[in-house]
Structure formats: structure tokens, C-alpha cells
Structure 1
């Protein structure tokens, strides 16, 4: 190839790349926060919890959530974990509250309570973590919240 053809070819590539760069819009990551974490009425001896996540889309494009994986530590021990792929598409400039229903093994809770000396009415510390995966080019988002609750 002669020098003139190379320069012409290089010029075309630069124009194409700069044109593609202007087509890609900046995407702000979705904002995810723990809306609520509360015990549910038990069915039998297995404690259940309702976990609500608020997911906010600050963009003009919709997001398709592939799935959410989550875990809850109580008194430093992971007792609850789960996954869901039943999440609605997050429309542009909108927010959704996603409800997760989580169970806890009774024997793990008994071991925790007897080892920690906790009884009904005492406060228990928790740590909630979640990973939200999106379809497409949106990066995975991670959430961590801490707090406490009492046993009734």
C-alpha cells in the first residue's frame, strides 16, 4: 500500500470511530437501596422474612434485570440466602420495589440464639448483601445494608 492510501484508510477509521463514540450515551448506574427487612408470620416452625429493594433508574433507557442474588447475616452468621429472576423491566426514569421472600432454617436460628444468649425481645444485628445483574451493558450493582431487629 502506498502512503496516500494508508492515510486515507486511517482517516476513514478515525471518522468511523469518532462517529460511533457519539452514538454511545452515558449511562448512570441504577441506585439500589434496602427498603425494608421484616419478619413475616411463621408457617410452622420456619421463620420467614420479607426483604424489599428499591431500584431507581435515572436514565432515559430501560434496564432489564437478569436476576438478584442476596444473603442475610444475623449476628455475623449467614443464615439466609437466595436468588430470584422474577424481576420486572425497569422503565426509563422510574423506580420499582422488588419483594424477596426468604426463609431461615430453624435449627440454625436455634444454634444462633443459644450460642449468643438472645431471647425474645432482644435486638439482633443483621447485614444484608445483594448483587443485581442486568442484561446488556449495564454493570452489576452491589448493595450492603446493616441494622438490627427484635424477635417477637
Structure 2
């Protein structure tokens, strides 16, 4: 291969790498969005499932507004899937702002039974949980704005003891 052609290919590859790096950075925001649970309300479901409306506070710690057009959420408790849900809700989170999004969640009877067995055979005062999901929308790049949160649910002592 002649030397000028090699240089041309190397320059083209370098230009493509720079374009890809800056292009991907331009699709996303500087800081990840923060999503926390702020409420849980029962809603009607089918005979073999439990349903609830999960209210999430979405916080945007960035200098530009975040437009979203849909959300997907999964909730695991003690390492097993408990619930999942989607919503086609649209909205905008102002720069350095926040909003509350409601996602209908479904829990299958199998999920309820699995959690009940885990609860009965494991430690009763705490349960690890993991919530993850994705906000979709224009300007959020390929795959949208993903979020994740982990923690521990604590059950107050005495709550599960028989009444005296």
C-alpha cells in the first residue's frame, strides 16, 4: 500500500474516532438523572396479578431540559423480579428541575409466592432491593437515559410479632 494512502486511512480513522466520541457525548447529558420512589398506590388488576401505581420523582441535575416520551421500570427484591411496568407518559424535566412520573406496575402471583417464601425462610427484618429502568425520548441518545437504584427495605421490629 503506498504511503499517502496509509496516511489518508489513518487520518480518516482518527477523524471517525473523534466524531464518534463527540457525537456520543452530544447525545447524552453530563450527569445521570436521579430517580427515586415517592409513592405506591394499589390499582385494579386481573385475577392472577397484583397491580400498583409506582410514583417516581425524576430529577435532572443538568443545564438543559430533559424531554422524555416513555419509561420502563423493573423492581427486584431479594434478587428476584417482583414487578415491572411501562408508561407512555410524556413530559419535560426542567434544567435543574424535577417532576413526578406514574408507572403502572404488575406483580404476578408467582412473584408474590416467591417473595413470600423468601420472606418466610430468610431474614425478616430486611430485604435488599434493586430498581432499574430507562427514560426514552428525543435527545436522550441511543438506549435513552438509564437509571438504577439499590437499597435495603427495613421492616420495623415488632411489626411481624404476634400481638400480646
Under TM normalisation by the shorter chain, which class is it? 0.5 to 0.7
Deviation at 1:45, TM superposition (A): 6.9
Q: Specify the alignment match of 1:109 in structure 2.
A: 112
| 3-state SS of 2:65 partner | coil
Q: In structure 2, do the counterparts of structure 1 residues 82 and 91 end up closer, same or farther at CA, with 3 Å as the change threshold?
A: same
Q: Specify the alignment match of 1:129 in structure 2.
A: 132
The aligned runs of 1:74-113 (5 Å cut-off) are 74-113=77-116
Q: Specify the alignment match of 1:145 in structure 2.
A: 150
- Give the TM-score of the pair, scaled to structure 1: 0.61
| 3-state SS of 2:92 partner | coil
Check the 8 A contact 1:32/1:55 in 2, yes or no.
yes
Check the 8 A contact 1:74/1:127 in 2, yes or no.
yes
Structure label with greater radius of gyration: 1
Q: Specify the alignment match of 2:10 in structure 1.
A: none
State how far apart, in whole Å, the 1-side matches of 2:97 and 2:56 are.
14
- The Cα RMSD (Å) is 3.7
Q: Specify the alignment match of 2:56 in structure 1.
A: 53
Q: In structure 2, do the counterparts of structure 1 residues 88 and 68 end up closer, same or farther at CA, with 3 Å as the change threshold?
A: same
| 3-state SS of 2:51 partner | strand
Equivalent pairs, count: 128
Long gaps (5+) in structure 1: 1-20
